[in-house]
């Protein structure tokens, strides 16, 4: 599929236009200007004065046209003015594509990952709720249903973290452990099959302990509190019970005031890694929350995606975790796994009903570029747009009926049917870390393999990203360097601003 765009001469607009095209077409190439004929030709004409920008557009040869004007607010800087132009072009372009394809985009021109951030920003600036909603509808073409979802989530987040707009003075910590029993077909996380890697695991843990000590020392010396700690990966429970014990002991020794940290989560995503010994260790360190991820309740699907555990094992390990005192368990389900449709997903929901975990995260399958599934797309038969949408509606209805509330959401590129991933929980059982990471309200320090740090300037909100390497070999060679770099960023963020706060 090829779309030719005429009248756009600014390269900075290519990516937003591509992102919008991806909402309508699975594989779509955009070409600009003259040359060969394309499947669709769209011409966009943009005229600007000091006061406003007007964009007119047309899908050539179809009679479909659109025009829209937006004003520049007084005092807008160049960046804000460009954003206004970009949004006006997107607005016209989206309407043209909607009319041409007959597909309606409920998120409007918004293609970003974190829609709720936009609403938080408006509300935090003191804008009344009604006005914020009206702007989302008018400027971004977001439908009422999605605005309602955003508001519901924002309300839950503020109930779970009443000081959400003040936690920028604290940090959260993400600890990445890059090992799993086997690699799942859709996975792009740093996840190395742990079998036969004992030496590498040992060196990795050595580096991890070092990072925890150094970062912890810095936080203590600068009196910076930790809001949440999250062990992810990989599967953090794929290491031995003894290694876990030493790691959590390090956590308690290194980080400031661990007993008052609001939440510590350990992903135990793969049920095949959970044992009584490991649960005893989690208990010993008062881990608040774990994840056990079924993804699907069909053994055939689990096999097809390379998870190497059974449905029965998921259920058994869930009960075992309960018996060992785990009272905040999250479970992940994925909509649109290969070979699965409405029937299979409804079965997953009815199995979930028997367990009633404290939270349920519903993902929509995303074809990430680096995954096995994307490389061999032809091997995997997945549901179409309408069926995926039906499954999403089923998840919304089921969660509502069973007392769950949505508390975070994120969208992904290349997500089936342009839907979203939603975290639901029973009220009061929301994961605080998930709220922190989604809303980008505070610095997250990433430790370990593939751990991404985000340093958030406390005055401007500007985000600086820093990533540790994904593979254990590179990490093991240079973990001291990565630690030093992060401390430099922390110094910039906290030392400079401590004086003013
Ligand atoms: S369990 Fe999670 S991290 Fe591990 S391979 Fe599967 S998807 Fe990747």
Q: Is 189 in the pocket of ligand 1 (CB under 6 A)?
A: yes
| The ligand 1 atom nearest the CA atom of 190 | 3
Q: How far is CA 364 from the centre of its chain?
A: 12
| The ligand 1 atom nearest the CA atom of 181 | 4
Crossing angle between the packed helical segments 14-24 and 78-101, to the nearest 10 degrees: 30
Q: How far apart are CA 427 and CA 69, in angstroms?
A: 43
Per-residue pLDDT of the chain (501 residues; tens, 9 = 90+): 899 999 999 999 999 999 999 888 877 899 997 667 889 999 999 999 989 999 999 999 999 999 999 999 888 888 889 999 999 999 999 999 999 999 999 999 998 889 999 999 999 999 999 999 999 999 999 999 999 999 999 999 999 999 999 999 999 999 999 999 888 887 888 888 888 777 789 999 999 999 999 999 999 999 999 999 999 989 999 999 999 999 999 999 999 999 999 999 999 989 999 999 999 999 999 998 999 999 999 999 999 888 889 999 999 999 999 999 999 999 999 998 988 999 999 999 999 999 999 999 999 886 655 566 666 777 777 777 788 889 999 999 999 999 999 999 998 776 555 678 999 999 999 999 999 999 999 999 999 999 999 999 999 999 999 999 999 999 999 999 999 999 999 999 997 544 445
Crossing angle between the packed helical segments 198-221 and 472-490, to the nearest 10 degrees: 0
Give one word for 196, left, alpha or beta, with left for phi > 0 and alpha for psi -120 to 50. left
Q: How far apart are CA 392 and CA 400, in angstroms?
A: 12
Q: How far apart are CA 99 and CA 349, in angstroms?
A: 35
pLDDT at 15: 93
Residue nearest (by alpha carbon) to ligand 1 atom 1: 270
Q: What is the pLDDT of residues 231-243, one digit of tens each?
A: 998 999 999 999 9
The answer to whether the Cα torsion of 377, 382, 386, 388 is positive or negative is negative
| The ligand 1 atom nearest the CA atom of 233 | 3
Q: Is 234 in the pocket of ligand 1 (CB under 6 A)?
A: yes
Q: Is 187 in the pocket of ligand 1 (CB under 6 A)?
A: yes
CA of 334 to the centre of ligand 1 (A): 13
Residue nearest (by alpha carbon) to ligand 1 atom 6: 184
- Encoding tokens for residue 269? 């995503």
For residue 177, give the 3-state DSSP assignment. Answer: strand
Q: Among 192, 269, 365, which residue has the most ligand 1 atoms within 8 Å of its CB, making it the best to mutate?
A: 269
Q: Is 180 in the pocket of ligand 1 (CB under 6 A)?
A: yes
* Cα 442-446-450 angle, rounded to 5 deg: 135
Q: What is the pTM of this model?
A: 0.91
CA of 372 to the centre of ligand 1 (A): 12
- Residue by residue, DSSP assigns 6-53 as ES---GGGHHHHHHHHHHH-SS-EEEESSSS--SEEEEEEEEE-SSEE
CA of 176 to the centre of ligand 1 (A): 12
pLDDT at 252: 98
Q: Among 177, 183, 236, 274, which residue has the most ligand 1 atoms within 8 Å of its CB, making it the best to mutate?
A: 183
The answer to whether residues 489 and 464 touch, using CB atoms and an 8 Å cutoff, is: yes
Does the bond joining 234 to the residue before it have cis omega, within 30 degrees of 0? yes
């Amino acid at each position: 599929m090829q779309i030719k765009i005429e009248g756009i001469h600014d390269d900075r607009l290519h990516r937003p236009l591509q992102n919008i095209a991806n909402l309508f077409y699975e594989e779509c190439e955009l070409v600009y200007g003259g040359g060969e004929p394309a499947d669709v030709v769209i011409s966009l004409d943009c005229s600007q004065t000091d006061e406003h920008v007007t964009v007119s557009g047309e899908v050539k040869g179809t009679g479909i046209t659109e025009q829209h004007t937006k004003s520049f607010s007084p005092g807008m800087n160049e960046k804000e003015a460009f954003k206004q132009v970009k949004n006006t072009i997107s607005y016209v372009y989206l309407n043209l594509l909607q009319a041409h394809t007959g597909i309606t985009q409920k998120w409007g021109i918004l293609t970003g990952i974190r829609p709720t951030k936009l609403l938080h920003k408006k509300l935090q600036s003191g804008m009344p709720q009604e006005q914020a909603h009206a702007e989302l509808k008018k400027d971004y073409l977001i439908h009422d249903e999605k605005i309602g979802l955003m508001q519901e989530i924002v309300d839950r987040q503020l109930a779970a973290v009443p000081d959400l707009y003040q936690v920028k003075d604290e940090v959260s910590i993400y600890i990445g452990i890059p090992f799993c029993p086997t690699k799942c077909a859709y996975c792009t996380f740093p996840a190395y099959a742990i079998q036969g890697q004992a030496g590498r695991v040992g060196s990795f843990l050595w580096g991890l302990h070092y990072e925890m000590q150094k970062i912890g020392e810095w936080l203590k010396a600068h009196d910076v509190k930790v809001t949440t700690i999250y062990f992810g990966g990989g599967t953090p429970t794929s290491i031995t019970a003894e290694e876990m014990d030493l790691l959590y002991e390090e956590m308690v020794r290194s980080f400031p005031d661990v007993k008052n940290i609001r939440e510590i989560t350990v992903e135990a995503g793969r049920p095949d890694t959970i044992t009584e010994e490991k649960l005893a260790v989690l208990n010993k360190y008062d881990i608040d929350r774990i994840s056990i991820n079924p993804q699907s309740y069909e053994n055939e699907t689990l096999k097809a995606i390379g998870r190497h555990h059974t449905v029965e094992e998921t259920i058994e390990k869930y009960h075992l975790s309960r018996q060992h005192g785990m009272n905040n368990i999250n479970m992940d389900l994925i909509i649109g796994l290969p070979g699965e449709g409405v029937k299979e997903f409804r079965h997953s929901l009815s199995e979930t009903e028997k367990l009633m975990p404290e939270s349920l995260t519903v993902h929509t399958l995303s074809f990430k570029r680096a995954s096995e599934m994307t490389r061999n797309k032809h091997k995997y038969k997945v549901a179409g747009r309408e069926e995926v949408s039906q499954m999403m509606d089923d998840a919304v209805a089921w969660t509502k009926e069973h007392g769950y509330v949505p508390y975070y959401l994120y969208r992904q590129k290349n997500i089936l049917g342009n839907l979203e991933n939603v975290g639901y929980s029973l009220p009061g059982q929301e994961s605080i870390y998930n709220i922190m990471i989604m809303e980008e309200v505070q610095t997250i320090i990433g430790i370990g393999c593939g751990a991404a740090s985000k340093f958030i300037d406390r005055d401007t909100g500007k985000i600086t990203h820093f990533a540790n390497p994904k593979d254990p070999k590179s990490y093991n060679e240079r973990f001291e360097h990565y630690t030093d770099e992060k401390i430099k960023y922390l110094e910039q963020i906290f030392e400079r601003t401590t004086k003013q706060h």
